[in-house]
Amino acid sequence: MKTVTMADVAKQANVSKSTVSQYLNKRYDYMGEKTKARIEQAIKELGYQPNIVARSLKQKSTKTIGVIVANILHNFSTEVSRAIEDVCHKADFHTIICNADDDPDKEKKYIEMLRAKQVDGLIIFPTGNNRDLYRKMLDQNYPVVFVDRSVPDIPISSIMLENEKASELAVDYFAKKGHERIAMITTPMNENVSSRVERLEGYQRALQSHGLDVREDYMRSIDPDQVEGILEEMLALDQPPQAILAGNDLILKEVLTFSKLHHFKIGEDLSVIGIDDVPYASFYSPSITTIAQPTFKMGKMAGELLLDKINKKSTADQRPDYHFEPTLMVRESVKDNKED
Amino acid sequence: MKTVTMADVAKQANVSKSTVSQYLNKRYDYMGEKTKARIEQAIKELGYQPNIVARSLKQKSTKTIGVIVANILHNFSTEVSRAIEDVCHKADFHTIICNADDDPDKEKKYIEMLRAKQVDGLIIFPTGNNRDLYRKMLDQNYPVVFVDRSVPDIPISSIMLENEKASELAVDYFAKKGHERIAMITTPMNENVSSRVERLEGYQRALQSHGLDVREDYMRSIDPDQVEGILEEMLALDQPPQAILAGNDLILKEVLTFSKLHHFKIGEDLSVIGIDDVPYASFYSPSITTIAQPTFKMGKMAGELLLDKINKKSTADQRPDYHFEPTLMVRESVKDNKED
DNA sequence: CTGAAAGCGCTTACAG
DNA sequence: CTGAAAGCGCTTACAG
């Protein structure tokens, strides 16, 4: 596999490397037609492929960005990533996606790795626990955009859902359908991660606005694998909840598994709404009412914002965060208690 | 963002660049303890991060591989990719994943892009329609491994499912449960893509071995968005099928959507098996009987094989293809016609 | 035990 | 209109 280099092309075409380089970069301004033709010919004959690594070294730009998602298992992450890829692709940027697996150490490793690879900027779904690193990048004026969560005291713009609104939409809908005992289950809280906290706050506030009790035993923040146990507990209460708000897709999955296992009929024995519009929501039986995030728009925004920072070198953020509106997708998993 | 380079570290530590480089590459053999300490100190003070791009240029290795999946929408692709990533990660290789979107032109573009980026090897779920390119890489002795499909006359090893066996398992199980009219729906055939053809062949052969008719009107290869129409046709036949084998996850999804829409009860009015163990199979109602591919093993094998080729430079393939066994995951979506 | 020098394959002023 | 030269930030024989 002897590699063909620009020097080979130059020799073959009887011009200098500079001229070949000009040609490749389409700076034809003053290039003779015959020269052009000869170079083209030589490139074809030799099967020359430019070495982007060499170019990147010289230009100090790899035309590549990195995306570090907190946890690739969330549907949200993959959907947003694909939108980011779309935007970057159109701008001739490549995208490298890494999965921090909710582990700050992995996140750190990936940030360092990607920066060593000279990516031109980073989109991070932050674990929240690498504050020093985040700050360092900020200080260095390195282009970064956050997604899904903001980090207290780190003024890097974040592309987020209106999380409180998401819970409100769900609770409002439950209430409208005559539910009074509404529980919420989310994944564990991390004080450095805004979104989960906000969803819980929205849930509480919405309950209050409907004059419903906020009960500690209806509010649980736990790992997905503990959902089954928790649901058993909840549903064995004197006053079991009539409705469950699942804080994200992983929790929803566990709720559905539980109800199948224990023969609770969703939409009859138990009403359910999930935050995140999971792919199977529409063809599940019964179909699942969800709160959808505008993942495509959010990813697009994140990509555009980062590319702006990269191009304009104005990495300072004009505004703190970008909040996107959630949408209620009404389907069949909420019983209508008002009907009878 | 003035970047700190090796030269800066060298100056600060009062040694030469060479020595710093040795240090970074852990060639301590003859290095004085105090030198080591001074370098370490300088690196910390300056916050030096090596530039991998420069290293790659010199070493002619990026320690990165590319993965080009035919269509990222298939669950199979993402699962295999993650296994590949795991293996590479352990070997200190990075992974760049691209989606050809079933489009040979995109595939071509990505192959060229990744090679221009000097990735050390490629794992491809081939569209099958870039034969010249595949052959060129083979001729150049460039490390490549195929996944999911082999390409006729291109002796590049492929990591594949025993596709015929997959269909056989499904048909055998349908037959065992007393079904006689068994249909199969797959995505469109491409003569250059082995797996879909093999699945259909396995289906036909299995029918014959059970003495069942092979009917043209029970065998359809169509785009997912046409499944609804086709199912309407099939189920309006004088002798409608009792069972449907969905050739992959996208088809399965359409079958489920159809049955929901038209109120066919899966596992009662219509039995279903899907090839690919979709994530929601176990908690769907009814849970879905599937044929699982050992995606993790397959990805691991693909990664290991590629890394072998990269390291040993023996890119010639010892054996043609690697076939992995499918597994029947018995759940509830097949009716037992023998019971009554 | 450490340093000077060449070179990886490009790009980019600058000169002519 | 085109070429010679320097340089991007590393690594690696080789010399001492």
Between β-strands B94-99 and B64-69, what pairing exists: parallel, antiparallel or unpaired? parallel
For chain B, the farthest-separated pair of C-alpha atoms sits apart, in whole angstroms, at 89
**Shortest CA to C1' contact from B28: nucleotide:** C1
> In tens digits, what is the pLDDT along chain A, a chain of 340 residues?
568 899 889 888 888 888 888 888 876 666 777 888 888 888 988 889 899 999 999 999 999 999 999 988 888 999 999 999 999 999 999 999 999 989 999 999 999 999 999 999 999 999 999 999 999 999 888 999 999 999 988 999 999 999 999 999 999 999 999 999 999 999 987 777 788 889 999 999 999 999 999 999 999 999 999 999 999 999 999 999 999 999 999 999 999 999 999 999 999 999 999 999 999 999 999 999 999 999 999 999 999 999 999 987 566 676 679 999 999 999 999 999 876 5
Rounded CA separation A277/A80 (Å): 13
Gyration radius of chain B's alpha carbons: 26
Nearest Cα of chain B lies from the Cα of A180 at a distance, in angstroms, of 27
Write the DSSP string, A23-44: HHTT--TT--HHHHHHHHHHHH
* Contacts with B283 from chain A: Cβ below 8 Å: 253, 256-257, 260
Residue nearest to nucleotide C1 (CA to C1'): B30
User: B123 in helix, strand or coil?
Assistant: strand
Q: Which chain B residue lies closest to A142 (C-alpha atoms)?
A: B1
Residue nearest to nucleotide D3 (CA to C1'): A16
User: A271 in helix, strand or coil?
Assistant: strand
Start-to-end C-alpha separation, chain B: 77
Residue A37 has a pLDDT of 86
Strand D contact with A53 (CB < 7 A)? no
Question: Partners of A121 in the beta sheet?
Answer: A65
Rounded CA separation A186/A224 (Å): 8
Are B252 and B288 within 8 A, CB to CB?
A: yes
**Shortest CA to C1' contact from A6: nucleotide:** C9
Interval B67-91 mean pLDDT: 92
Residue nearest to nucleotide D1 (CA to C1'): A30
Q: What single-letter amino acid sits at A76? A: F
Are A283 and B260 within 8 A, CB to CB?
A: yes
The DSSP call for residue B212 is -
Q: Could you tell me which residues of chain A have a Cβ less than 8 Å from any Cβ in chain B?
A: 1, 47, 49-54, 56-57, 62, 72, 78, 82, 94, 96-97, 112-113, 115-118, 136, 140-142, 253, 256-257, 260, 280, 282-285, 287
CB within 8 Å: A282 and B257 = yes
Helix, strand, coil fractions of chain B, as percent rounded to 5 = 45, 15, 40
For chain A, the farthest-separated pair of C-alpha atoms sits apart, in whole angstroms, at 89
Interface size A-B, in CB pairs within 8 Å, comes to: 76
Cα angle B275-A286-B283, degrees, rounded to a multiple of 5: 45
According to DSSP H, which parts of chain A are helical? Answer: 6-13, 17-24, 33-46, 52-59, 75-90, 104-116, 131-139, 163-176, 194-209, 227-235, 249-261, 295-312
Between β-strands A289-292 and A327-329, what pairing exists: parallel, antiparallel or unpaired? antiparallel
Exposure string over B301-314, b if 16+ CB within 10 A, otherwise e: bbbbbbbbbbeeee
Rounded CA separation A221/B49 (Å): 39
Q: What single-letter amino acid sits at A9? A: V
The burial of B340, by beta-carbon neighbours within 10 Å (0-12 exposed, 13-18 middle, 19 or more buried), is given as exposed
Distance A42 CA to D1 C1' (A): 19
Rounded CA separation B286/B299 (Å): 30
Structural domains in chain B plus CATH codes: 6-50 (1.10.260.40), 63-161+295-325 (3.40.50.2300), 163-293 (3.40.50.2300)
What are the pLDDT digits (tens) for B323-340? Answer: 999 999 999 999 998 765
Nearest Cα of chain A lies from the Cα of B298 at a distance, in angstroms, of 20
Instruction: Please enumerate in sequence order all residues whose Cβ is within 8 A of that of A271, keeping only pairs 6 or more positions apart, or say none.
Output: A174, A177, A179, A242, A243, A244, A333, A334, A335
